[in-house]
Amino acid sequence: MAYAHRIVALVLPLALFACATGPDVAEITGAEYQVDEIDFEGNTVVDEDDLIDHMVLGETWWVPFTPTHWFNPALLPADIQRIEDYYRSRGFYDARVLDVRQLPETAGSEIDLVFVVEEGQPMLVETLTVEWVDADAMPPKERSVIADLARPAQGTRLEMEALNDAVADMRVATASRGFPEAEVEPEVTADRLTHRAQVTLRVRPGPRARIGALRFEGLKAAPRDLVLAEVEEVPGRLYSPGLLNRVEGQIYGLGVFQSVVALPASPKDGEVDVRVRVRESLPQTIRLGVGLGLEPNRWEQRATAHYTHRSLFGRLTRLDLKVGAGYAELPSVFDVQQHGPIATIEPTVTKKGLLERELRWKWAPSFELGIEDGYQFYAPENLIGVTRFFFGRLETGVSHNTRFVNFFDLQPGFRDGNTRLGLDFRDPYLLVFVRASVALHLTDRVVDPRQGVVLAVDHDVAGGALQGDFDYQKLRPEVRAYWTTPWERLQLAARAATGWVMPYGDNPGAPIDQRFYLGGAADVRGWGLKRLSPQIRCRADQSGCEDIAVGGRTMVLGNVEARLRTVGELYVAPFLDVGDVRLGEFDYQVASWNYSSGLGLRFDTAVGLLRADFGVRLNDPARFEDEPRWAFHFALGEPF
What's the pLDDT tens digit per position in 536-546? 776 555 555 56
Topology of the domain comprising 6-16+32-118: Ubiquitin-like (UB roll) (3.10.20)
Q: Is the pLDDT of residue 252 over 80?
A: yes
Long-range contact set of residues 27-34: C-beta below 8 Å, sequence gap at least 24? 29/70, 29/72, 31/70, 31/71, 31/72, 32/71, 32/109, 33/70, 33/71, 33/104, 33/109, 33/110, 33/111, 34/60, 34/68, 34/69, 34/70, 34/71, 34/109, 34/110, 34/111
Selected from 1.10.10.10, 2.40.10.10, 2.40.160.50, 3.40.350.10, the CATH number assigned to the domain covering 463-640 reads 2.40.160.50
Asked if 449 contacts 439 with a C-beta cutoff of 8 angstroms, the reply is no
What are the tens digits of pLDDT across the range 476-496?
999 999 999 988 899 999 999
Rounded CA Rg of the chain: 30
DSSP letter assigned to residue 599: E
CA atoms of 274 and 215, how far apart (whole Å): 6
Instruction: Tell me which H or E stretch contains 78.
Output: helix 76-89
* pLDDT the model gives residue 188: 96
Alpha-carbon distance values, 106 to 31, 33, 112 (Å): 17, 12, 11
Q: In DSSP terms, which residues pair with 561 in a beta bridge?
A: 493, 575
* pLDDT the model gives residue 26: 54
Topology of the domain comprising 124-204: Ubiquitin-like (UB roll) (3.10.20)
What are the tens digits of pLDDT across the range 130-164?
999 987 888 999 999 999 999 999 999 999 999 99
Angle, alpha carbons 19-20-23 (nearest 5°): 135
Q: Does the domain made of 210-280 have the CATH classification 3.90.340.10?
A: no
CA atoms of 209 and 179, how far apart (whole Å): 6
> What is the chain's length?
640
**Among residues 623, 602, 622, which one has the least CA distance to residue 612?**
602
**Among residues 262, 274, 266, 276, which one has the least CA distance to residue 211?**
274
DSSP letter assigned to residue 623: G
Give span(s): CATH 3.10.20.310, the chain: 6-16+32-118, 124-204, 210-280
What are the tens digits of pLDDT across the range 427-443?
899 999 999 999 999 99
Confidence of residue 293 (pLDDT cuts 50, 70, 90): confident
CA atoms of 129 and 189, how far apart (whole Å): 12
Q: Is the pLDDT of residue 512 over 50?
A: yes
Helix axes 160-175 and 140-147, enclosed angle (nearest 10): 160
